[in-house]
Every structure is written in structure tokens, then in C-alpha cells.
């Protein structure tokens, strides 16, 4: 057998017991259908049925052996479980000739619980309310979201426009300040030139003071001489 082939996974040994009993029951029903058993106590044994029954049992045993090699229960191989003599698998996966127990599946019903029914009804009502709410959201939420986005976009656009106007006014003020600064710079240069000319005039006057003083002294001497005559 190819080890890479995925095995059939069962949840518990009872599942394997159920499959085994169903296979054996079906085989027995087919045998009884085609070769009905002799019910009379005085009749001779039916050799044909006994031979066919032995062949059917051998075939069923062969099928079950092949099935066990391809089945795992909760991740444990059934064949390994038989080799390890697991007590939980005894009577379910035994080899040929071992007596197997047939389990009868029974359905059990719990008693009617009014509280549980009320709780289930409340859960169904909440589910229906949520479904109705979701349906309402599907009808109204897109329009509400679109309107909210439009209002937000218009508000942001107004804010950007206001900031742009303020920026233009600021640029205008800066330009006017630059012009005033240029004019004040021109006047400052003119005052500085006048100051330089005045300083140069004072320097020239300061240089001519000794000569003027000497002239005044000579003129005083001349006036004194003429007055003495």
C-alpha cells in the first residue's frame, strides 16, 4: 500500500464498529434474499447455503482487513492499534475468526425545556433584528456617507480659500514694506551725502582759521599804526 495515500479518518472506535456491523448485516441480508434459510426443523441441512455463507464470510473478512489498513481513528492507525493489543479496540478490529460485538445505535431525546426554547427564540429575534438593521444600513448609509464627505470637502475648501486670501494679503504687505524700505534707504543716502559735504566744509573752514587769524592780527596792527599817526 502506498504510504502517501491519505487514510479514512474516524472519530472513535464506535464508528468503526458501526461500519463493520453494517457491512456484515448487509451481506447477511443479501444472502437471506437469494438463499433463504430453511425454517423447518425436519428439513435437511442446506449445504449450498452453508457453502455460500462460508464464502461470503471469508469475503467480508477480507474486505474488513483491507478497510482496517486504510482507516485511522483520531490519527492512530487501526492496524497498529491491533498489533499493540489496545484494549479499546478489542472486539471491533479483531482479526478473522474473532467474535465481534455488534453495537445498536440508539437515538435519545432530551426532555422539552421551555427556558431553552425561549432563549432560542430570543436569539432568533436578535438575529432578525440585526439582519433588518444591516438591510437598513445598506439602503441609507451610502447616501449619508456621501453627504458627510461632500460637507467635509466644502468646509475644507472654504478653509483653504480663506488661508489663500490671507496669504495674498500678507504677500502684499511684505511688498509694500519692501518699497517703503527702499524709499527710506534713498533718503538715508541723501542725508549721508549732505552730512559728508557739511563735514568737508567744516574741515576746510578749520584749515583756513589760522590764516584768517593771522590776517586779522595784521589788520589790527595796521589799524593801530594808522591810529597812532
Do residues 16 and 92 touch, judged by C-beta distance below 8 A?
Answer: yes
Cell numbers 593771522 label which residue? 214
C-alpha cell of 212?
584768517
Render pLDDT for 10-36 as a digit per residue (tens, 0 to 9): 888 888 899 999 999 999 999 888 888
Distance, first Cα to last Cα, the chain: 167
Structural domain spans, the chain: 8-79
The confidence score (pLDDT) of residue 197 equals: 75
Low-confidence stretches of the chain (pLDDT < 70) are 1-4, 40-44, 80-110, 174-187, 201-209, 212-214, 216, 219-229
pLDDT tens-digit profile of 42-77? 666 778 888 998 999 999 999 999 888 888 888 788
CA separation for the pair 188, 208 (Å, rounded): 30
CA dist., res. 57 & res. 24, Å (int): 8
Pairing of strands 71-73, 8-10: parallel
Q: What is the pLDDT of residue 91?
A: 46
C-alpha cell at 82: 491491533
CA angle 40, 46, 48 (to 5 degrees): 150
Amino acid at each position: 500500500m502506498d504510504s502517501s495515500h491519505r487514510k479514512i479518518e474516524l472519530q472513535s472506535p464506535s464508528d468503526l464498529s458501526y461500519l463493520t456491523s453494517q457491512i456484515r448485516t448487509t451481506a447477511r441480508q443479501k444472502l437471506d434474499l437469494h438463499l433463504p434459510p430453511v425454517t423447518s426443523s425436519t428439513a435437511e441441512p442446506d449445504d449450498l447455503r452453508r457453502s455460500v455463507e462460508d464464502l461470503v464470510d471469508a469475503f467480508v473478512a477480507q474486505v474488513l482487513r483491507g478497510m482496517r489498513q486504510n482507516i485511522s481513528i483520531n490519527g492512530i492507525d487501526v492496524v497498529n492499534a491491533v498489533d499493540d493489543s489496545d484494549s479499546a479496540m478489542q472486539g471491533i478490529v479483531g482479526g478473522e475468526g474473532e467474535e465481534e460485538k455488534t453495537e445498536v445505535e440508539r437515538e435519545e431525546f432530551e426532555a422539552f425545556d421551555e427556558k431553552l426554547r425561549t432563549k432560542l427564540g430570543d436569539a432568533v429575534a436578535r438575529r432578525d433584528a440585526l439582519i433588518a438593521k444591516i438591510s437598513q444600513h445598506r439602503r441609507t448609509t451610502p447616501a449619508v456617507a456621501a453627504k458627510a464627505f461632500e460637507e467635509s470637502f466644502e468646509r475644507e475648501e472654504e478653509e483653504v480659500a480663506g488661508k489663500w486670501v490671507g496669504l495674498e494679503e500678507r504677500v502684499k504687505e511684505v511688498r509694500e514694506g519692501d518699497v517703503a524700505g527702499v524709499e527710506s534707504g534713498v533718503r538715508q543716502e541723501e542725508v549721508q551725502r549732505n552730512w559728508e559735504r557739511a563735514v568737508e566744509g567744516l574741515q576746510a573752514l578749520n584749515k583756513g582759521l589760522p590764516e584768517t587769524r593771522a590776517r586779522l592780527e595784521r589788520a589790527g596792527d595796521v589799524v593801530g599804526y594808522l591810529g597812532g599817526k
